């Protein structure tokens, strides 16, 4: 994600089999530099897959590196190929923007759109 000032890069890790039906659980780790300081945030992630639509609703963001305030992210993706997803993100303070995700059996990389 990039808001013109801060670029975020992340890794979405999905844990095993569905928690219920088409719902999965995981974590999202985001790394970014803000005002010259590298920060890393981890969020819990609930992932819902419906056809080619993927919704990632995050909660409980906490800093692994750095400090400050951080609002949980939400992502809404449409699969554009078996390994690529595009869509948007939102949170309670910034609104939202475009987002992209690339998937593999090892990891999915999420790039939310706007900065903190």
CB-neighbour burial class of residue 46 (10 A; exposed 0-12, middle 13-18, buried 19+): middle
- Say which CATH topology domain 8-111 has: Lipocalin (2.40.128)
Domains in the chain: boundaries: 8-111
Give yes or no for residue 61 having a pLDDT over 90: yes
Question: Which among 26, 31, 82, 32 is positioned nearest to 55, based on CA atoms?
Answer: 26
Q: DSSP alpha helices (H): ranges in 18-60?
A: none
pTM of the predicted model as reported, rounded to 2 decimal places: 0.80
Give yes or no for residue 109 having a pLDDT over 80: no
Question: Which among 14, 7, 13 is positioned nearest to 39, based on CA atoms?
Answer: 7
Q: Kindly state the average pLDDT of the residues 97-111.
A: 67
């Amino acid at each position: 994600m990039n808001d013109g000032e801060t670029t975020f890069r992340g890794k979405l890790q999905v844990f095993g089999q569905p928690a219920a039906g088409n719902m999965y659980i995981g974590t999202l780790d985001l790394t970014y530099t803000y005002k010259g300081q590298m920060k890393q945030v981890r969020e819990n992630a609930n992932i819902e897959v419906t056809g080619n639509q993927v919704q990632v609703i995050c909660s409980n963001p906490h800093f692994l590196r750095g400090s400050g305030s951080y609002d949980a992210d939400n992502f809404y993706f449409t699969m554009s190929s078996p390994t690529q997803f595009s869509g948007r993100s939102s949170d309670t303070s910034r609104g939202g923007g475009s987002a992209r995700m690339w998937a593999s059996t090892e990891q999915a990389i999420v790039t939310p759109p706007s900065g903190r």
